[in-house]
Structure 1
């Protein structure tokens, strides 16, 4: 999909971080914006800054875990501009750092509601509109934690792995409808965003006083939101399903894939001939165990 002046993009979680970086990058290309966020004050400030830079922006306070709210976002987008070309399902929170067995039900529900169902609701609300107009693209934000294990953050990693698989399948489904439709998932490494602070403000985590920022944790290997946004939009224009900007992300993903293939290949080598090689058993209806 070519990103061009006059198109319309919807960005959830658009008040800060990667979402705001996407809004800035799209606005610089002359794309009209609908930005959504659950934080009304942050959304107002983001809109003011974008408009001051010359962007055409509509703001919609939205809880992406609420399907009806995302439906209203789609309605507002169509009322404002009459079309939507790019849907960036980006809203997110993080979870507390703890082993999987210590993560409580509330954490799982919140992460599934925002990080996974937020994408599902975005696709369900906007896909019919893109299909009807015959063109458009979804850009779903996941994480490097969706490409490899992330110990201590299982609810986050689990939902991010789900978003990666969901997007891969969505791209196939959309292209079965029309080759002008598609989906991309962005899986960045460390990004300099206030995700931790925002998650704490929303009650998702407790952030102790003096906690280090993302930049403090990795001063030399961290991306800016605009860098992630630029990589993501480049992947959209190239019609690539995956983009994973960031130091070491490819190596971590390769390690996981190599381990996966090694397990599958070891299983295949250890397996005897299949039922088709034993005609008498297959014909006799032998029991599978």
Structure 2
């Protein structure tokens, strides 16, 4: 799908991090924006910053884990612009660091509600609008944790793998209707975002006192950490190239290749 001036994009989790990077990148291409987030204060600041930079933006508070809230977001988008061309199901949280048997039911419910059902609700609310207009594309944000194991973050890894499989299947389903419809899953490596702080605000994790406010600060100069804008540009390039997967970041390809190689080895040996 070609991303063009005057199209309309919806971005959940748009107040910060990758969501805000997507908003900036799309605004730079003349796309009109609907950004949403569950954090009202952060959303207002993000909307004001985008508008000050010249973007046409509508900010809508929405909880992606609540189907009615996402349907209201779709209704608001349709009433404001009469169309939608790109939906970025981006909202997310992270799980605590602990082995699976120590993860709580609350963590599982929160992760599934935001990261899996959040994407499901976004697709159910907006896919009919795409189909009605005959064109449209989803970007579903997962993580490199959806391409390979990530010990001590099982709820996070599980939901990221689910978003990868969901998007692959969704793209095939949309393509059966029209080649102008599709979906891309974004699986970045380390990104300089306040995901940890946002997750703590939402009650997903508890950070130790003095925890740095960004991934780059926490990594103490470690290389290979992307900015949200770099991740966003990679995602948009993948959409325009018609790719289902995009995984920017150092070491991501190597981790994915190792997982696939181990998978194939197990399957081949088990079939002998």
Q: TM-score range by the shorter chain?
A: over 0.9
- Note the alpha carbon deviations across 1:121-164, whole angstroms, 9 max, x for none: 00000000100100000000000000000000000000000000
Q: RMSD of the alignment, in Å?
A: 0.7
Task: Give the Cα–Cα distance (whole angstroms) in 2 for the partners of residues 92 and 127 of structure 1.
Answer: 20
Q: Distance in 1 between matches of 2:81 and 2:211?
A: 42
Q: TM-score, normalised by structure 1?
A: 0.92
TM-score (norm 2): 0.98
Which residue among 225, 234, 237 is the counterpart of 1:234? 237
* Aligned pairs (5 A) from 1:199-278: 199-212=199-212, 213-215=214-216, 216-217=218-219, 219-269=222-272
CA shift digits 1:48-106 (9 cap, x unpaired): 00000000001110000000000000000000000000000000000110000000000
Deviation at 1:182, TM superposition (A): 0.2
Query: Where does structure 1 differ by over 2 angstroms across 4 or more consecutive aligned residues?
Result: none
Distance 1:239 1:10 in 2: 19
Q: Which residue of 2 aligns with 1:84?
A: 84
Looking at CA atoms only, which structure, 1 or 2, has the larger radius of gyration? 1
Shift of 1:175: 0.2
1:41 alignment counterpart: 41
* SS in structure 1 at match of 2:88: strand
**How far has the Cα of 1:219 moved from its partner?**
2.8
Residue deviations 1:173-214 (CA, integer Å, cap 9, x gap): 000011100000000000000000011111111011122441
Q: Which residue of 2 aligns with 1:95?
A: 95
- How far residue 268 of structure 1 moved from its aligned partner, in angstroms, is 1.4
The count of aligned residue pairs is 269
SS of equivalent to 1:265:
helix
Measured after TM superposition, the shift of residue 247 of structure 1 is 0.1
